Amino acid sequence: MSSADKSGGSKNGSKSGSGSSSNSGSNSDKKSKNIEDLLKLLSMSQELTEVQKKEMEDYKFWKTQPVPKFDEKIIKEGAIDSDKTPDDIPNEPLPLLKDFEWCEVDLDSKEEIDDLFTLLHENYVEHQDATFRFNYPPEFFQWALKPPGWLRQWNVGVRVRTTGKLVAFISAIPTNLKIRGKSIKSVEINFLCIHKKLRTKRLAPVLIKEITRRVNKENIWQAMYTAGVVLPSPISVCRYNHRPINWSKLYDVGFSHLPENITKTQMISKYILPSNTIIEGLRKIKFQDIEQVSKLFADYNKNFELVQDFSIEELKHWLIGDEKVIQTYVVENPITKKITDFFSFYLLPFTVLNNPLHKELGIAYLFYYASDCCLDKPRFDPEATKLLSKRLKSLINDALIISKNLKIDVFNALTSQDNNLFLEPLKFGPGDGFLNFYLFNYRSKKINGGMKEDTREWDIENRSNVGIVML
C-alpha cells in the first residue's frame, strides 16, 4: 500500500483509489461530487498532471538513480546498471543524523507492529482534514510483508534515538517478475512513509538508498514499485475505479450529496446487490485447490506483459490467509470437479474520525483472478472477448455480493488486467486517482495500463497488459 498516492486504495500512502467520476459513467455520477471526493480520498491517488511532473533536472535524487528519463526512447530492454556484485556494496548502513537510528521492524513483535501501525495510520494517508486513516489490522502486515522469502532486514525503520519512536519506514519483499516473458528476480518496494514532522528534509532518498543497499547485498538488482506521484519514469499508468456498495453509509459520513433530481432511494437502489452469490460451484478456496489454481493463473497470465511468476508456496500465501485480509473464491465444476475460475480481493478498512454515526469504512480491493473460459482462443478474438466479458461480469458481481455481506462499503479496482470488461456494467465509476508503475534499474517499453492516452477513459478495446496487482 502505498501513498497519498495509493488511496481509497491502498497503497502507498496510498496509492489507492479515488473518486468515482464519470466520464464513462452516468449523469447522476457526475453530480455526486461528494461521493467522488470521498472515494478520491480513499485512493489518495493524485492526478497525473503536467504540473506534477517536474523536469528531469529537478528530480535531484531520481536523476542520480538507474531509472529511465521521461523522454528516453527505449530501444533495448534490460538492466540499466549491471556491473556490480554484492561485494561492491557497502556492509554498513547509510549514515543518519545523530538524533536518529536505523532499526528492523520485527513483525513478530506485537509492540513493533503497533509502532508500524501508528506510523502508517497517522502519516500514510495525506488528507487535508485527516478524516480518514488506514486502519491496518495486524494480520495485514503479516500478509503484506511476510511472503515466502521475506527478510527481516528488509523491514527498515528509522527511530528517534532518545525515545525509540518510529518515524520512518520502507519495505521490500521478494518477487519474480515476468516482463514480456523475461523473468527478473526482483523485489517490491512498499510502505515508504515518513512522519509528517520530518517531511521535505530529504529523508526519503536516504531510505530508498538504504533499502537498495540491503536488497543489493542479496544479489538482487531490480525492483518494482507504484506511486501516485510522477517520478522518472512510469512503465505504466492505471486508473482507480470505485463501486459503491453501501451508498447510504457513504452518504451518512457526509461525503455524498444527493445529485440534483435524484432521490436517496434512487441512489441506494442504483447500487443494490442481492444477498446470495449466483455462480454455481462458487466456494472458498482450499489448500488442495492451489495446484489447479496455480496452473489456471499461469495460463491466464500469459495474456499480460507484466506479471508476477508465483511459486505454489507464494500463491498459498497470497491467496489463502487470514480472512480479515484476503478473500479468495474458486468456481468448481460440480461434475468434473475442475476449477474453472477464481477471484480474490483484499480488505483494508479506513477509520472514520469525528463522525457520530460511523467509525470505520470497509474497503475491498480487487486482487488476482483468472478464468479458463476462453484460454483456447487469442485474447482479442471477438468471441473470446464476449465470453470473457460475460464470465468476468458474473465473477466480479459475486465478489461484490460477498463484499456486501462482509460489510464492505466500497470496492476498488484498477484498469489493469481484463478489468475494463466489467467496470461499466458492474457500475464502477472511474476515479480521479492514477497509479504509476515503476521499475528500478530496468529499461522497458511502456505497458498499456487500460486507459486511453488522450482522454484517460477506460480503454475497453485494448484493455491492459498489466497483470500485476501491488498492495
Ligand X SMILES: CCCCCCCCCCCCCC(=O)SCCNC(=O)CCNC(=O)[C@H](O)C(C)(C)COP(=O)(O)OP(=O)(O)OC[C@H]1O[C@@H](n2cnc3c(N)ncnc32)[C@H](O)[C@@H]1OP(=O)(O)O
Q: Which stretch binds ligand X (CB under 6 A): 32-40, 153-161, 214-222, 277-285?
A: 214-222
Query: Residue 401: which residues within 8 A CB-CB, separation 6 or more?
Result: 273, 274, 275, 276, 277, 278
Asked if residue 177 binds ligand X (CB under 6 A), the reply is no
Residue that the C-alpha cell 488528507 belongs to: 127
How far apart are alpha carbons 367 and 469 in whole angstroms? Answer: 6
Asked if residue 440 binds ligand X (CB under 6 A), the reply is yes
How far apart are alpha carbons 296 and 93 in whole angstroms? Answer: 43
How far apart are alpha carbons 32 and 26 in whole angstroms? Answer: 10
Q: Which of 119, 223, 235, 400 binds ligand X (CB under 6 A)?
A: 223
Report the phi/psi class of residue 407: left, alpha or beta, with left for phi > 0 and alpha for psi in -120 to 50. Answer: left
Q: How far is the CB of 24 from ligand X (least distance, A)?
A: 27
Q: How far is the CB of 436 from ligand X (least distance, A)?
A: 9
Query: Residue 244: which residues within 8 A CB-CB, separation 6 or more?
Result: 20, 35, 39, 250, 271, 409, 410, 427, 429
Q: Which of 35, 48, 156, 208 binds ligand X (CB under 6 A)?
A: 208
How far apart are alpha carbons 188 and 316 in whole angstroms? Answer: 18
471 is catalytic: yes
Asked if residue 203 binds ligand X (CB under 6 A), the reply is yes
| Residue count (the chain) | 471
Q: How far is the CB of 250 from ligand X (least distance, A)?
A: 24
x/- map, 53-92, ligand X, by CB under 6 A: ------xxxx------------------------------
Q: How far is the CB of 162 from ligand X (least distance, A)?
A: 21
Closer residue to ligand X, CB minimum distance, 173 or 296: 173
Q: Which stretch binds ligand X (CB under 6 A): 68-76, 199-207, 367-375, 445-453?
A: 199-207
How far apart are alpha carbons 123 and 102 in whole angstroms? Answer: 19
Q: Closest-CB residue for ligand X?
A: 13
x/- map, 311-330, ligand X, by CB under 6 A: --------------------
How far apart are alpha carbons 416 and 177 in whole angstroms? Answer: 16
Q: Which residues are bridge partners to 170 per DSSP?
A: 156
Catalytic member of 348, 388, 392, 471:
471
For strands 306-308 and 166-179, give the pairing. Answer: antiparallel
Closer residue to ligand X, CB minimum distance, 100 or 422: 100
Q: Is 47 exposed, middle or buried (0-12, 13-18, 19+ CB in 10 A)?
A: middle
Asked if residue 42 binds ligand X (CB under 6 A), the reply is no
Q: Which stretch binds ligand X (CB under 6 A): 17-25, 202-210, 241-249, 399-407?
A: 202-210
Closer residue to ligand X, CB minimum distance, 57 or 111: 57
Closer residue to ligand X, CB minimum distance, 218 or 252: 218
Total residues binding ligand X (CB under 6 A): 42
- Determine contact, residues 189/238, Cβ cutoff 8 Å: no
Q: Which of 36, 126, 314, 418 binds ligand X (CB under 6 A)?
A: 126
Asked if residue 205 binds ligand X (CB under 6 A), the reply is yes
How far apart are alpha carbons 264 and 260 in whole angstroms? Answer: 10
Peptide bond into 82 cis (omega under 30): no
x/- map, 365-384, ligand X, by CB under 6 A: --------------------
Closer residue to ligand X, CB minimum distance, 15 or 463: 15
How far apart are alpha carbons 432 and 421 in whole angstroms? Answer: 19
Closer residue to ligand X, CB minimum distance, 5 or 409: 5
Q: Which of 42, 177, 215, 451 binds ligand X (CB under 6 A)?
A: 215
Site for ligand X in 225-244 (CB under 6 A): 225, 227, 229, 231
For strands 222-227 and 182-194, give the pairing. Answer: parallel
- DSSP reduced 3-state for 152: helix
Report the phi/psi class of residue 191: left, alpha or beta, with left for phi > 0 and alpha for psi in -120 to 50. Answer: left
- Determine contact, residues 179/77, Cβ cutoff 8 Å: yes
Looking at the annotation, which residues are catalytic? 471
Binding site for ligand X (CB under 6 A): 2-5, 12-13, 15, 59-62, 123-124, 126, 187, 189-194, 199-205, 208, 211-212, 215, 220-223, 225, 227, 229, 231, 440-441
